[in-house]
């Protein structure tokens, strides 16, 4: 057994937590849309063809904002193809995923789905094959009340009131050689600036995110962000980050080092953004949108995009997640919460089937993957202020990161309810962790609200249609409270949630 300590104090706060960090992503890729969230004729389908079973799981997952329609798909997409009468919508070749896009699900269907689920939309504009003019037209169609050709067209399509979409992304992964319409940093920075200017003229209330470099490992990383923000700093609010965890060594210990790499990535992007602010003598701070992140490596190959014959909604990158993947996702959530002063939105990619927490069968069942659980628990309990964690823990060395503490943790306190949520990852794979937690200044009469652990003896254990609850949270009986002190035993390789509430005002 190893011993660790976690200390927080109500006066030492990272930031208020922006609930939009519990976002997800729906792209026209594989079966994310068709037979994922949308399947007319399914036994659970509603009148619009939305799968009610997937909507229920999406609500349980607690997604706060959802990015749409891509992704790589975005850079060849014409938004006009996905609005209006369905029998008049064109079928198109999707060059991003070598599929046939029927356009039976488009912008208005997505927004109806968001309303039904109770989540906010995050809409992206195509800056690959298109540009500022199409972006401002798209925004006018969606957000302008009435009296113009495009706003009246929306009303003809059955949407009298504006959609009032607040958050917009300016393109996707524009430095990637795989991207339709790849651009240099100067090219993209200029078009992002001009697009942002036009969009703000149409609706000055919108929040805008510029594309960061596609991954931390790109040769363009760092210099891309610096150049792009050099152009559009004054016109945008966010810079995006994309990260996918891989396990090339087939080692759980090495794999969990991705959590530290994510922390480094966040801090580096923030530092570059702040250096641009310094050059401009500006007090403005660009916030971070981690609008694509997940585990992705088992269903990934050099030809994962192409299926013969331009099929409709083929099975693409349907990653089957296991226990160690759930630990990595939980650790990433901890890192994003602990950087709540800069990370204001994040999107787990994607929502259904395509590297998704939700899996479905056409005409059949839907179930929770292992990664569903830490996300749903964090979204359920993390509300209020993120407290700065002081962690005392032994550590191990790895190739992915030089020093990795066995304890990874975040604490979020809600002043309104007096509830405190503790999220703790035990990265020791053979030893139980005995943890001592001090909740200073949060009240001396804490009581236990909930305590659970996500643990499985087999790190490769997964959930399937036949065994959908093979890996699922279980009650943790090894938690005690004495005043403001919490002690617990965390099993090896486990994700843990402990929720307390002060019974007397602090």
Angle between helices 372-381 and 323-338 (to 10 degrees): 30
* Cα radius of gyration (the chain): 23
Does residue 306 register a pLDDT over 90?
no
How confident is the model over 184-222, as pLDDT tens digits? 999 999 999 999 999 999 999 999 999 999 999 999 999
Look at residues 143, 235, 148, 254 and name the one whose alpha carbon lies nearest to residue 192.
235
d(CA 46, CA 33): 15
Q: Is 18-381 the same fold as 2-10+386-502?
A: no
Does residue 299 register a pLDDT over 90?
no
* DSSP assignments along 61-130, one per residue: HT--EEEES-SGGGGG--GGGGSS-GGGPPPEEETTTTEEE--SS-HHHHHHHHHHHT-EEEEEE--SS-
Does residue 503 register a pLDDT over 90?
no
The pLDDT of residue 249 is: 87
Does residue 506 register a pLDDT over 60?
no
* DSSP assignments along 330-376, one per residue: HHHHHHHHHTTTTEEEEEEE-SBSSS-SEEE-TTS-EEE-TTHHHHH
Name 315's Cβ contacts closer than 8 Å, sequence gap at least 6: 30, 31, 353
d(CA 463, CA 339): 31
Query: How would you classify the pairing of strands 65-68 and 23-25?
Result: parallel
**Coil vs helix vs strand at 266:** helix
Does residue 120 register a pLDDT over 70?
yes
d(CA 56, CA 418): 29
Residue ranges with strand state E in 143-214:
167-170, 207-210
d(CA 22, CA 248): 27
The pLDDT of residue 300 is: 79
Angle between helices 323-338 and 258-279 (to 10 degrees): 30
Does residue 168 register a pLDDT over 60?
yes
Look at residues 274, 213, 282 and name the one whose alpha carbon lies nearest to residue 242.
213
Look at residues 98, 97, 95, 101 and name the one whose alpha carbon lies nearest to residue 180.
95
The pLDDT of residue 304 is: 65
The pLDDT of residue 248 is: 87
Range 60-86 average pLDDT: 98
The DSSP letter of residue 174 is T
Do the beta carbons of residue 479 and residue 487 sit within 8 Å?
A: yes
Does residue 52 register a pLDDT over 90?
yes
How confident is the model over 326-380, as pLDDT tens digits? 999 999 999 999 999 999 999 999 999 999 999 999 999 999 999 999 999 999 9
The pLDDT of residue 3 is: 98
d(CA 327, CA 262): 14
Name 349's Cβ contacts closer than 8 Å, sequence gap at least 6: 24, 25, 27, 71, 244, 292, 293, 294, 355
Does residue 135 register a pLDDT over 70?
yes
Domains in the chain: boundaries: 2-10+386-502, 18-381
- Output the six-digit token pair for 504: 């007397």
Range 304-312 average pLDDT: 83
pLDDT band for position 422 (cuts 50, 70, 90) = very high
Do the beta carbons of residue 58 and residue 36 sit within 8 Å?
A: no
pLDDT band for position 301 (cuts 50, 70, 90) = low
How confident is the model over 78-107, as pLDDT tens digits? 999 999 999 999 999 999 999 999 999 999
CATH class of 18-381: alpha beta
pLDDT band for position 492 (cuts 50, 70, 90) = very high
pLDDT band for position 305 (cuts 50, 70, 90) = low
Give the 3-state secondary structure of 385-431.
EEECCEEECCEECCCCCCCEECEEEEEEEECCCCEEEEEEEECCCCC
Range 239-260 average pLDDT: 95
The pLDDT of residue 505 is: 58
pLDDT band for position 303 (cuts 50, 70, 90) = low
The pLDDT of residue 307 is: 78
State the chain's maximal CA–CA distance in angstroms.
Answer: 69
**Using CB atoms within 10 A of its CB, is residue 303 exposed (0-12), middle (13-18) or buried (19+)?**
exposed
Range 301-322 average pLDDT: 85
Look at residues 230, 307, 213, 207 and name the one whose alpha carbon lies nearest to residue 269.
213
Look at residues 116, 73, 65 and name the one whose alpha carbon lies nearest to residue 348.
65
CATH of 2-10+386-502, one of 3.40.1190.20, 2.60.40.1180, 3.10.129.10, 3.30.70.1450: 2.60.40.1180
Instruction: List residues with catalytic annotation.
Output: 173, 292
């Amino acid at each position: 057994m190893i011993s660790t300590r976690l200390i927080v104090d109500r006066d030492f706060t990272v930031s208020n937590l922006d609930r939009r960090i519990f976002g997800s992503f729906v792209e026209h890729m594989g079966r994310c849309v068709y037979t994922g969230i949308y399947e007319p004729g399914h036994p659970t389908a509603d009148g619009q063809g939305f799968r009610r079973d997937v909507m229920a799981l999406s609500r349980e997952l607690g997604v706060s904002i959802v990015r749409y329609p891509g992704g790589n798909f975005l850079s060849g997409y014409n938004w006009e193809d996905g609005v209006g009468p369905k029998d008049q919508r064109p079928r198109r070749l999707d060059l991003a995923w070598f599929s046939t896009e029927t356009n039976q699900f488009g912008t208005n269907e997505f927004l109806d789905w968001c309303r039904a689920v109770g989540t906010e939309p995050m809409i992206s504009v195509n800056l690959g094959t298109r540009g500022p003019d199409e972006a401002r037209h798209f925004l006018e169609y969606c957000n302008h009340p009435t009296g113009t050709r495009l706003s009246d067209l929306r009303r003809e399509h059955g949407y009298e009131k504006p959609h009032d979409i607040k958050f917009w992304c300016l393109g996707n992964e524009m430095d990637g050689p795989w991207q339709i319409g790849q651009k240099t940093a100067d090219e993209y920075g200029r078009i992002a600036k001009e697009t942002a200017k036009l969009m703000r003229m149409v609706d000055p209330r919108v929040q805008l995110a510029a594309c960061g470099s596609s991954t931390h490992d790109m040769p363009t990383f760092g210099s891309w962000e610096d150049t792009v923000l050099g152009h559009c700093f004054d016109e945008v609010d966010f810079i995006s980050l994309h990260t996918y965890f891989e396990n090339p060594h087939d080692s759980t210990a090495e794999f969990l080092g991705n959590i530290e790499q994510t922390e480094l990535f966040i801090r580096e992007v923030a530092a570059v953004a702040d250096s641009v602010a310094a050059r401009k003598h500006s007090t403005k701070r660009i916030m971070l949108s981690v609008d694509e992140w997940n585990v992705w490596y088992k269903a990934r190959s050099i030809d994962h995009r192409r299926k013969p014959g331009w099929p409709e909604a083929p099975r693409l990158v349907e990653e089957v997640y296991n226990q160690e993947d759930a630990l990595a996702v939980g650790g990433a959530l901890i890192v994003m919460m602990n950087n709540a002063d800069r990370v204001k939105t994040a999107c787990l990619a994607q929502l259904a089937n395509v590297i998704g927490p939700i899996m479905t069968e056409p005409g059949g069942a839907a179930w929770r993957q292992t990664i569903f659980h830490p996300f749903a628990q964090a979204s359920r309990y993390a509300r209020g202020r993120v407290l700065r964690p002081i962690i005392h823990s032994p550590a191990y060395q790895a190739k992915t990161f030089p020093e990795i503490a066995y304890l990874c943790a975040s604490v979020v306190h809600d002043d309104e309810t007096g509830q405190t949520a503790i999220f703790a990852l035990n990265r020791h794979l053979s030893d139980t962790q005995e943890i001592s937690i001090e909740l200073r200044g949060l009240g001396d009469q804490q009581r236990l609200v909930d305590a659970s652990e996500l643990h499985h003896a087999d790190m490769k254990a997964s959930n399937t249609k036949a065994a959908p609850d093979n890996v699922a949270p279980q009650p943790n009986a090894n938690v005690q409270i004495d005043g403001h002190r919490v002690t617990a035993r965390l099993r090896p390789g486990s994700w843990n949630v402990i929720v307390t509430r002060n019974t007397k005002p602090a």
